Structure 1
Amino acid sequence: MELRIKSQQANPEAYKAMLDLEQFIVKSGLDKKTYEFIKLRASQINGCSYCIDMHSKDLLAMGESVDRLLLLSAWRETPIYSDAERAVLELTEYATKLSEAGVPDDVYARVRAHFDEKQYVDLLMAISVINAWNRIGVGTGMFPGCF
């Protein structure tokens, strides 16, 4: 396996724009673990091994349990996630696989039961940013340990 291109070196301005979006989310007030779970779940769906590795390790470093990481892809089948986390994970899946069903009204309602309008937009921005990072990672051939 070989890295195709180092995007940050090939186009530093584009990479900086992505970092600026990342910083926007970090400063939005979104809970850090929630953001990491969004990143990990979207990365699982998109098959970005580099991001799966990074965000799993980040969550572990934040004190998250191994069980919650290992069971994330089957979050619907286990009670170890709160209702708010489940709503975020569901939104992450629908917004990541947008062409399949959009974001249904009932998903929106479940998220809004826990998050206000600004927070809902913050969640959508967070999901959008990790999906963009995944496309960069997969498109450039990134993998764990490639740097």
Structure 2
Amino acid sequence: MNTRINHQEVSPEIYNTMLKLEGFIASSGLDHTLYEFIKIRASQINGCAFCLDMHTTKLRSMGETNQRIDLISVWREVPFYSARERAALELTEAVTLISKAGVPDDVYSNAREYFSENEFLTIIMAINTINSWNRIAISTRMVPAQAQVQV
């Protein structure tokens, strides 16, 4: 499997725009581990091998346990995530799969128990950003062996 287009080389403007979104989220105060959980869960749902490889590797380098990284896809079935992390993962699933049921009121209410309005909006932006990265990586057929950048 070969990469179709190197988006970073072909359109640095697009790549730099995405990096600005990343920079905004990184400077927002959103917990970095939580952001990586969001990235991993959305990437699992979207089937983005490139992003999964990148973000699981990053989370491991941050000192997160293999168990918590490996079990994100079944977060409801294990007691290893805080209520705050669970609310973010649930919201990530709803927003990533938004065409199925929107963001149900109970998901919104649960998230708002743990996140302020500003934090909620930042998490929505974080979910949108990783979904955009996933769509770029999948459409251009980026594969982990060809990883050239860290996001």
1:113 aligned counterpart, secondary structure: helix
Indicate the residue corresponding to 2:141 in structure 1: 141
Which amino acid counterpart does residue 24 of structure 1 have in structure 2? F
Matches within 5 A, 1:46-125: 46-125=46-125
* Equivalent pairs, count: 147
1:28-52 deviations in Å (ceiling 9; x for gaps): 1100000000000000000010000
TM-score calculated relative to the size of structure 1 = 0.98
Deviation at 1:146, TM superposition (A): 1.2
Runs of 4+ with deviation above 3 angstroms? none
1:48-91 deviations in Å (ceiling 9; x for gaps): 10000000001101111101111111101111111110000000
Which amino acid counterpart does residue 4 of structure 1 have in structure 2? R
2:111 aligned counterpart, secondary structure: helix
Which amino acid counterpart does residue 118 of structure 1 have in structure 2? N
Which amino acid counterpart does residue 75 of structure 2 have in structure 1? W
Which amino acid counterpart does residue 17 of structure 2 have in structure 1? A
Which amino acid counterpart does residue 103 of structure 2 have in structure 1? V
Which amino acid counterpart does residue 70 of structure 1 have in structure 2? D
Deviation at 1:107, TM superposition (A): 0.4
Structure 2 stretches of 5 or more lacking a match? none
Superposition CA RMSD, Å: 0.6
Alpha-carbon distance in 2 for matches of 1:8, 1:118? 31
1:24 aligned counterpart, secondary structure: helix
Deviation at 1:145, TM superposition (A): 1.3
Asked whether 1:8 is paired with 2:8, we answer yes
2:136 aligned counterpart, secondary structure: helix
Alpha-carbon distance in 2 for matches of 1:68, 1:27? 25
Which amino acid counterpart does residue 135 of structure 2 have in structure 1? R
Structure 1 stretches of 5 or more lacking a match? none
TM-score calculated relative to the size of structure 2 = 0.96
